[in-house]
């Protein structure tokens, strides 16, 4: 059974702080990893892909730890607009049928 | 460019009625996905199509659910008869050719309430 686990939160973080959360996956054969962002009552939107060597996009850094089977998302200098639910997505490869979404981590940035 | 278009945005109906949800994927995307999202179960993949052909429907909860994709620009998800436990947000998503590394683009979703 495919399992993608996330801490549901909420994470309450003051504006300007750095926050990080992880996502664990159960299938060691998983090949592709993504972070999606979902605002309240909106659709999920791709935030960033996660590459083996780790990658950065502005204030966001994503990392993959294959040995421990988790991916992480770090947000620096958090903004009020970062408040959202962050969904971890794992694809086991070989087609789209291995795509599994975590239930998300709810982040609240407080002024 | 137009994104994934879903209709209706909201649907409220009584149990036992037939419900039809519609989706227009992004032009040029050859994968189309139907998801259901609830607080309890999160986002669940129901079925997906590649080049209009259903590839995996193992996520479809039961025979009351059916999905079709008659052409590259249109898909439907039908529930007949509907039950209160079907209440959820239903998302359609599409992605480009290229397999698992391609991100999925979601529509705005249909909020379905079965009374």
| Residue from B32, B36, B37, B43 whose CB has the most chain A CBs within 10 Å, to mutate | B43
A103 contacts chain B (CB < 8 A): yes
pLDDT band for A97, please (50, 70, 90 cuts): low
Residue-level pLDDT at A27: 87
> Residue A100, class by beta-carbon neighbours within 10 Å (0-12 exposed, 13-18 middle, 19+ buried)?
buried
Strands in A1-111 per DSSP E: 4-6, 11-14, 19-25, 32-38, 44-50, 55-57, 60-65, 70-75, 84-91, 99-101, 105-110
pLDDT in tens, B89-115: 999 999 988 766 688 999 999 999 999
> What is the pLDDT confidence band of residue B28, given thresholds at 50, 70 and 90?
very high
Q: How confident is the model at residue A95 (pLDDT cuts 50, 70, 90)?
A: low
Query: CB neighbours of B26 closer than 8 A, spacing ≥ 6?
Result: B1, B2, B3, B4, B94, B105
B45 in contact with A at a CB cutoff of 8 Å? yes
Contact B106 A43 (CB under 8 A): yes
Above 90 in pLDDT, residue A1?
Answer: no
The pair of three-digit structure tokens given for residue A73, joined into one six-digit string: 């998302």
Question: In the predicted model, is pLDDT for residue B4 greater than 90?
Answer: yes
Q: Would you state the pLDDT for residue B46?
A: 93
The pLDDT of B22-46, averaged and rounded, is 93
Residue range A31-75, pLDDT digits in tens: 889 999 999 999 999 999 998 889 999 999 999 999 999 999 999
């Amino acid at each position: 059974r495919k399992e993608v686990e996330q801490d549901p939160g909420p994470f309450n973080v003051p504006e300007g702080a750095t926050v990080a959360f992880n996502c664990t996956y159960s299938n060691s054969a998983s090949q592709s990893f993504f972070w999606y962002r979902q605002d309240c009552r909106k659709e999920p939107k791709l935030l960033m892909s996660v590459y083996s060597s780790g990658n950065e996009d502005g204030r966001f850094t994503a990392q993959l730890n294959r040995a421990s089977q988790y991916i992480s998302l770090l947000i620096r200098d958090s903004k009020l607009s970062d408040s959202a639910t962050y969904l971890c997505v794992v694809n086991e490869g070989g087609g789209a049928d291995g795509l599994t979404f975590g239930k998300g981590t709810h982040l609240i940035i407080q002024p | 460019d137009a994104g994934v278009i879903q209709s209706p945005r909201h649907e409220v109906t009584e149990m036992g009625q037939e419900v039809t949800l519609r989706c227009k994927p992004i032009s040029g995307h050859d994968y189309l996905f139907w998801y259901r999202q609830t607080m309890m179960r999160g986002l669940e993949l129901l079925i997906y199509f590649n080049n209009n052909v259903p590839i995996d429907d193992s996520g479809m909860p039961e025979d009351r659910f059916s999905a079709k994709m008659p052409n590259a620009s249109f898909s439907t998800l039908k529930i007949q008869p509907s039950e209160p436990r079907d209440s959820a947000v239903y998302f359609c998503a599409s992605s480009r050719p290229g397999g698992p590394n391609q991100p999925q683009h979601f529509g705005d979703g249909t909020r379905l309430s079965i009374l």
